[in-house]
Amino acid sequence: MNKIAIAGAGAMGGRIGTHIANAGYDVTLIDYWEDHVQQINNNGLEIQTETETYTVDIKAKHPEDVSEQFDLVIILTKAMESERMINDLLNVDAIQDDTAILTMMNGLGHDERFSKIVPMKQVFLAVTMWTAGLRGPGQLLLEGTGTIELQRADGHADDRTEKINNIFNYAQLNSKISDNVFHSIWSKATLNSVLNPLCTILDKTINEFAQYTNARKMITPIIEEIVEVTKQKGVSLSVDELVEKIENAYPIEAQGLHYPSMHQDLYKGRLTEVDYLNGQIVEYGKAFDIPTPNNEMLTHLVHQLEMKK
C-alpha cells in the first residue's frame, strides 16, 4: 500500500496521519475545512505534545482537488459527513475497486452505510483508544498513547488486513488484527452512548458527573438496553463489565477531567453524533422489537439542546 489518504483530518485524523507520514509513507490529508487545509499547506501541521512542539510537512487537499488514486483511505470525518466524503472521493476516482476503506470513527452502523456505496469487501472497521485534540487550524494537541484493533467488516480473511496492520505498527500505533472487532466497537460505543450524552446534557466533565451518589443508577438502565440490542446483533456483552468500564473512566487520573466529544461539539455550535450512538441503538431496537426508552430520551434531549445552538 503505497498511497494513503486520511479523509477527515481533524484531531484524530491528524494524529493517525502524522504517525503514518512520520513512518515514511505517502500520506495525503483530505478535509472540507478551508482554513485548516490552507494552514497545513502553507505552514505544515503544528504538533504539541506533553514535552515539545514541532511541525510536520504533509500534503492537505479538499476532496474535489484530489487527483490521485489511493490504496488505503482512512475515514475519520464526523460520522454525518462520512458518506459524503466517500462519494466525493469516488467522483474524482480516488477510490478504485481494490482500495481499502477503513473507518475508526466513533459510532455504530458505519459498515452498513458504507456497503450501500462500495462493496462490503472494501470496508474495514477499526476501533482506537488513541486520543487527540484540535487547537485550531493546522494545530494539534497529541498526548498519551493508545491502541488500534481492526478487521475486514465482513470478517473474511484479506491480505490487505495484514498490510494495514503492518502500516499501523510501523507507525507505532500499537495495532492488532481482531477476530471480533464488533465486540470492541460495541464496548466503546456503549461508553460513548452513556457518558457523551449525559455529560453533554448536564454540562459536566466525566468526574463531575461521577460525584453524584446515584450515578450508577443513571447509567445502568442505558447499558441494559444496549446489551439486549447487542444480543440480537450477535455480540455478547456484560452489563456489570460495562458498568465497571465506564466507572473506570471517572477518576481524574483517567478521563475524569475530560468533556466528551459530544459536549465539545454541542458547546462549539456543531451538530453532535448522537444519531450514530444512542439514535442508532434506538433504530436497532425497533428492528428487533426491543424497547430502548432511555436511549431514545437521551437522543431527543441532545437534539433539543442542538436547537439552542
Concatenated DSSP letters of 74-123: EE-S-GGGHHHHHHHHHHTT-EEEEEEEEE--SSS-HHHHHTTTS-GGGE
Sign of CA dihedral 65, 90, 56, 12: positive
Of the candidates 49, 60, 69, 56, the residue with the CA atom closest to the CA atom of residue 8: 60
First-last CA distance in the chain? 43
Question: If pLDDT is split at 50, 70 and 90, which confidence band does 257 have?
Answer: confident
* CATH of span 3-179: 3.40.50.720
Q: Are 31 and 62 in contact (CB under 8 A)?
A: yes
Share of the chain above pLDDT 90, in %: 90
Does 3-179 match 183-307 in CATH topology? no
Q: Do you know the residue count of the chain?
A: 309
Catalytic residue among 3, 59, 61, 188: 188
pTM above 0.85, yes or no: yes
Q: Give the pLDDT band (50/70/90) at residue 21.
A: very high
Listed residue (146, 159, 152) closest to 178, CA to CA: 152
Q: How confident is the model at residue 20 (pLDDT cuts 50, 70, 90)?
A: very high
Domain boundaries, the chain: 3-179, 183-307
Residue 231 has pLDDT above 70, yes or no: yes
In the numeric block, which cell numbers belong to residue 97? 475497486
Q: Is 188 a catalytic residue?
A: yes
Q: Mean pLDDT for the chain? A: 95
Per-residue pLDDT at 288 exceeds 60: yes
| CATH no. for 183-307 | 1.10.1040.10
Residue 309: pLDDT above 60?
A: no
Among 89-98, 163-172, 262-271, the minimum mean pLDDT is found in 262-271
